[in-house]
């Protein structure tokens, strides 16, 4: 290995420790049945399905579990017809 | 129609997940559309090795049980556009993997991707047999060590009897990937040599991946070895293995860590 690359590289073990701590905190919580993000995801989809017939191909869900903040993005295409029908 | 590869070994800890991620990334880096599927239900780790552990929304079991669409469970790699991951379930029982369910998922993936790489769990139970079931090509990951070679032999037997190809009387294409190889120790006579392993298992060699610090480093960072440092010795070995998978006839070289002055000094002392 090139010596300069060897000395200028940052350590990788701290990244491993941080990633594991974060992942395990989330996994331990979900093992105890309190995976809030998954619960929210399922309940949001249910709530919307009550009002609109959802085409499951038009649903995209993204989650990102963070140390301080996690994000949940639910992207649903609601056709104009379905929205109008329910309103009527 | 894409090709289905199973990465298998029987024995645990020999480098199946590392190799699945590295080969998948290498093929995708060349522009092919690749999905790597984790079959290790209950003990998933491919997500962690590929650095996608925080972004898992749905998994293979959710798709098989009809709780999510396949497209919703696929996670796109943030670094390579054409690389996707289908994670295993961490909390569900592996009995939820059904033969019919797996078949549906694999055939759907095959129609979209150039390569479907199935990362098998260790052992010879349900997860492992389902991972190999639909394969066109098998990569047997083996360490130059007695128990690993024995377990590989067992797995080769299963590949020739329990897969769809075998049951249809076709020949399963099998390749050996020798990992954690230390040329210096083999040279000293303290490690099985490449030819020893090849003679015992008698399947063609796909590549030799040297024992290397780069592999641990890449896993620490959650980056496939071929993405972490494209010029590192194991990365080059994986790139070559990927080219051979695509049909290129490359001569196999035994990768030696090219050591600088310090490397030579410390290398000697450590030995």
ipTM over 0.95: no
Q: Which residue has the higher pLDDT, A67 or B177?
A: B177
- The sign of the CA dihedral B194, B150, B122, B157 is positive
CB B163 within 8 A of CB B193: no
Identify the pLDDT of residue B79. 97
Q: Of the candidates B72, B216, B232, which has its C-beta nearest A60's C-beta?
A: B72
Q: Give the tens place of pLDDT for each residue, B168-210.
A: 999 999 999 999 999 999 999 999 999 999 999 999 999 999 9
Task: Give the position of tokens 């066109």.
Answer: B136
Both tokens assigned to B186: 């083999």
B200 vs A: CB within 8 A: no
Which residues from chain B sit within 8 angstroms of residue A73, using beta carbons? none
- Res B269: pLDDT: 41
Residue A81, pLDDT score: 73
**CA–CA separation, B237 vs B213, rounded Å?**
14
Please tell me if residue B163 touches chain A, with a CB cutoff of 8 Å.
Answer: no
Is residue B131 within 8 Å of B39, Cβ to Cβ? yes
In B, minimum Cα distance to A59 occurs at: B72
Ranges of residues in chain B whose predicted pLDDT is under 50: 257, 267-271
Q: Of the candidates B57, B222, B257, which has its C-beta nearest A62's C-beta?
A: B57
Q: In this predicted structure, what is the pLDDT of residue B91?
A: 82
Strands A59-64 and A71-76, sheet pairing: antiparallel
**Antiparallel, parallel or unpaired: β B34-38 and B83-86:** parallel
Supply the pLDDT for residue A32.
75
Provide the pLDDT for residue A85: 60
The whole-number pLDDT of residue B262 equals 54
Helix (H) / strand (E) element for B149: namely helix B146-159
Angle at A42 between CA A41 and CA A46, to 5 degrees: 120
What pTM, to 2 d.p., does this model score?
Answer: 0.90
pLDDT (0 to 100) of residue B237? 97
Minimum Cα–Cα distance from B228: chain A residue: A12
pLDDT of res. B263:
53
The phi, psi pair for B85, rounded to 5°, reads: -125, 135
Predicted confidence at residue A6, as pLDDT, reads: 65
Q: Across the interface, which of B58, B90, B258 has its CB nearest the CB of A27?
A: B90
User: Residue A54 above 90 pLDDT?
Assistant: no
For chain A, the maximum distance between any two Cα atoms, rounded to a whole number of angstroms, is: 72
**Angle at CA A43, nearest 5°, toward A38 and A49?**
130
Higher-confidence residue of A51 and B61: namely B61
Q: Are B232 and A28 in contact (CB under 8 A)?
A: no
> Minimal Cα–Cα distance from A51 to chain B, Å?
19
- Closest approach of chain A CAs to the CA of B155, in angstroms? 32
Closest CA in chain B for residue A57: B69
pLDDT at A2: 64
Identify the pLDDT of residue A35.
81
Region A9-17: mean pLDDT is: 91
What gap in Å lies between CA B41 and CA B96, rounded to an integer? 9
Q: Which DSSP symbol is given to B8?
A: E
Considering chain A, what percentage of its residues have pLDDT values greater than 70?
Answer: 84
Helix (H) or strand (E) holding B245: helix B233-245
């Amino acid at each position: 290995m090139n010596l300069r690359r060897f000395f200028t590289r940052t350590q990788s073990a701290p990244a491993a420790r941080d990633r594991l701590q974060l992942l395990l905190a989330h996994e331990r919580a979900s093992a105890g049945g309190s995976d809030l993000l998954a619960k929210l995801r399922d309940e949001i989809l249910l709530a919307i399905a009550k009002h609109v017939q959802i085409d499951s191909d038009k649903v995209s869900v993204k989650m990102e579990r963070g140390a301080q903040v996690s994000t949940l993005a639910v992207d649903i295409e609601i056709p104009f017809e379905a929205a109008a029908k329910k309103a009527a | 129609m894409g090709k289905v590869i199973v990465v298998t070994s029987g024995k645990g800890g020999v480098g199946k997940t590392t190799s699945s991620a590295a080969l998948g990334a290498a093929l995708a880096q060349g522009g092919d559309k690749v999905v790597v599927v984790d079959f290790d239900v209950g003990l998933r780790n491919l997500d962690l090795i590929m650095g996608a552990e925080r972004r898992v929304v749905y998994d293979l079991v959710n798709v098989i049980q009809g709780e999510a669409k396949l497209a919703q469970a696929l996670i796109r790699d943030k670094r390579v556009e054409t690389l996707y991951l289908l994670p295993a379930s961490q909390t569900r029982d592996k009995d939820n993997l059904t033969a019919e369910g797996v078949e549906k998922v694999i055939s759907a993936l095959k129609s979209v991707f150039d390569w479907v790489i199935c990362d098998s769990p260790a052992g010879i139970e349900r997860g492992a047999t389902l991972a190999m079931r639909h394969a066109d090509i098998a990569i047997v990951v083996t360490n130059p060590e007695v128990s690993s070679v024995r377990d590989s032999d067992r797995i080769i037997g299963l590949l020739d009897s329990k897969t769809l190809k075998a049951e249809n009387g076709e020949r399963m294409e099998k390749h050996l990937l020798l990992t954690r190889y230390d040329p210096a120790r083999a040279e000293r006579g303290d490690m099985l040599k490449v030819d020893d392993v090849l003679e015992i298992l008698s399947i063609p060699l796909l590549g030799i991946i040297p024992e290397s610090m780069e592999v641990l480093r890449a896993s620490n960072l959650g980056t496939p070895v071929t993405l972490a440092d494209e010029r590192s010795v194991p990365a080059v070995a994986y790139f070559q293995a990927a080219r051979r998978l695509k049909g290129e006839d490359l001569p196999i070289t035994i990768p030696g860590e090219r050591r600088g002055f310090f490397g030579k000094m410390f290398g000697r002392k450590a030995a």
